[in-house]
Amino acid sequence: MADTVAEILLPTSELRDDIPFFTKVLGLKLDMIYPADDPRVGVFSGHGIRVRIDRDAETAPGLIRILTEDPEAFANGARTLTAPNGTRILIEPRNPPLEMPPTVHSFVVRRLKDQAPWIIGRAGMQYRDLVPDRLGGSIIASHIRIPDGGPVPDMVHFHKVGFQLIFCIHGWVDVVYEDQGDKMRLTPGDCFIQPPEIRHRVLEASDNVQVIEIGVPAEHVTEIDHEMTLPTPHLRPDREWDGQRFVFNQAAGADWQAFRLPGFECRDTTIAENTGGVAGVQVVRPVPGGGSSPWAAHDTDIHFTFVMAGTVTLEGEGRTPYDLEQGDAFVIPPHMRTRLCGASEDLELLEVTLPGRFHTDLA
């Protein structure tokens, strides 16, 4: 409500010492001071906060973080300050650059029958972790489901990421995106890539909708945009966010072509093209009479695969073969020789690679 104000309460032993610090050093405005003959209360505001400094306050001095676009120009470049009343002040960048941790490569196999727990996440959605070690923090791969359909309690938000994919494997979900027109329905085999910081909102879902979500890096910030209303009035399908375009790729009518591994074919989701090669996403299935590949190794940094349907055996040099089925996932590190064999006719794989353009060596 417009008439409601929140304050941070801080103590002091001498208000007169705090006034020049909070006004001149921190740039807050002095809004209120009393009593006139012996001031013991001062109220300051600015930078999105309201601070009440009270000589009679029985509370700790506290900590204030000030986020600014140019920390070097704030408080003469100081990053840590202490006010006369003991309050610590941290000066930090408002929009720090996205940090991409180096990939800690490992061979990962995650099977649905191992019964990894489902965790309740944002907006009531349930998350199952497909790459538990996160490859050193370089990627998060989640199997997400919403058991009960209907409107989703979501808000307009965006993610500070390097790359993000949403791929539908069951049911449907309606999502609306900034500058991309009215809501779009994702159905099995369809996918979105959400360029860095594109505003969007999940509107409604069917019962038991399930998607695979890939995010790079693993830990990234989700921010709520309280100002934007979706859909936006402008349709700008060619707009770029950090060099990436929004992609809505649909399974219906897609073209299939030869895959990098003989014995299989793929449909390209155009994501490598629309991200400038940051990532590649392909759906893979066996060709008639195929279903087994030669031994092969790749040189891309991250190579993730999810089994959407059917069965296949994954063999790796020096490893016990893994019989995989729907719901299983695996990560193959660069230069490790592996092969797929014994694929069922209905096998369908989701392959996600970063970067999207790389070389494959066949035995």
Please report the pLDDT score of residue 119 as a whole number: 83
Beta strands in 288-343 (DSSP E): 296-298, 302-309, 311-316, 322-325, 329-331, 338-341
Helix residue spans in the chain (DSSP H): 15-20, 271-274
Residue 327: DSSP 8-state? T
Rounded to the nearest 5°, which phi and psi values hold at 240?
-115, 145
**Is the separation of the CB atoms in 295 and 319 below 8 Å?**
no
- With a cut of 90, say whether residue 116 has pLDDT above it: no
Please report the pLDDT score of residue 64 as a whole number: 97
The domain made up of 8-93 has a fold known as 2,3-Dihydroxybiphenyl 1,2-Dioxygenase; domain 1 (3.10.180)
- What would the pLDDT profile of 348-361 be if each residue is shown by its tens digit? 999 999 999 999 99
Average pLDDT over residues 111-116: 84
Q: Distances from the Cα of 350 to the Cαs of 6, 169, 185, 295, in angstroms?
A: 49, 10, 20, 19
- With a cut of 70, say whether residue 122 has pLDDT above it: no
Please report the pLDDT score of residue 153 as a whole number: 87
How many beta carbons lie within 10 A of that of residue 83, not counting itself? 21
- Window from 10-19, 123-132, 147-156, 282-291 with minimum mean pLDDT: 123-132
**Is the separation of the CB atoms in 51 and 45 below 8 Å?**
yes
Average pLDDT over residues 317-331: 96
Please report the pLDDT score of residue 96 as a whole number: 87
Please report the pLDDT score of residue 2 as a whole number: 63
Encoding tokens for residue 81? Answer: 């300050």
Average pLDDT over residues 95-121: 88
Q: Which CATH class is domain 108-241?
A: mainly beta
- With a cut of 70, say whether residue 304 has pLDDT above it: yes
Please report the pLDDT score of residue 111 as a whole number: 93
Please report the pLDDT score of residue 50 as a whole number: 96
- What would the pLDDT profile of 210-251 be if each residue is shown by its tens digit? 999 999 999 998 999 999 999 999 999 999 999 999 999 999
- With a cut of 90, say whether residue 93 has pLDDT above it: yes
Q: How confident is the model at residue 83 (pLDDT cuts 50, 70, 90)?
A: very high
Average pLDDT over residues 324-350: 97
Task: Locate the domains of the chain by residue range.
Answer: 8-93, 108-241, 257-362
Please report the pLDDT score of residue 347 as a whole number: 98
DSSP per position, 189-242: T-EEE--TT--EEEEEE-TTEEEEEEEESSS-EEEE-SS--SS-S---TT-EET
Q: How confident is the model at residue 255 (pLDDT cuts 50, 70, 90)?
A: very high
Average pLDDT over residues 146-164: 92
- With a cut of 90, say whether residue 114 has pLDDT above it: no
Please report the pLDDT score of residue 363 as a whole number: 79
The span from the CA of 81 to the CA of 198, in Å, is 35
What pTM value is reported for the model?
Answer: 0.87
The span from the CA of 268 to the CA of 280, in Å, is 8
Average pLDDT over residues 103-118: 90
Q: Distances from the Cα of 116 to the Cαs of 110, 141, 184, 212, 308, in angstroms?
A: 9, 13, 31, 15, 17
Please report the pLDDT score of residue 123 as a whole number: 64
Q: Which CATH class is domain 257-362?
A: mainly beta
Encoding tokens for residue 255? Answer: 């073209």
**Is the separation of the CB atoms in 280 and 304 below 8 Å?**
no
Nearest 5°: the CA angle 87, 93, 95 is 135
- What would the pLDDT profile of 256-272 be if each residue is shown by its tens digit? 999 999 999 999 999 99
Please report the pLDDT score of residue 156 as a whole number: 97
Q: Token match 């797929």: residue?
A: 340
Domains 108-241 and 257-362 share a fold: yes
Average pLDDT over residues 287-296: 94
Please report the pLDDT score of residue 139 as a whole number: 96
Please report the pLDDT score of residue 311 as a whole number: 97
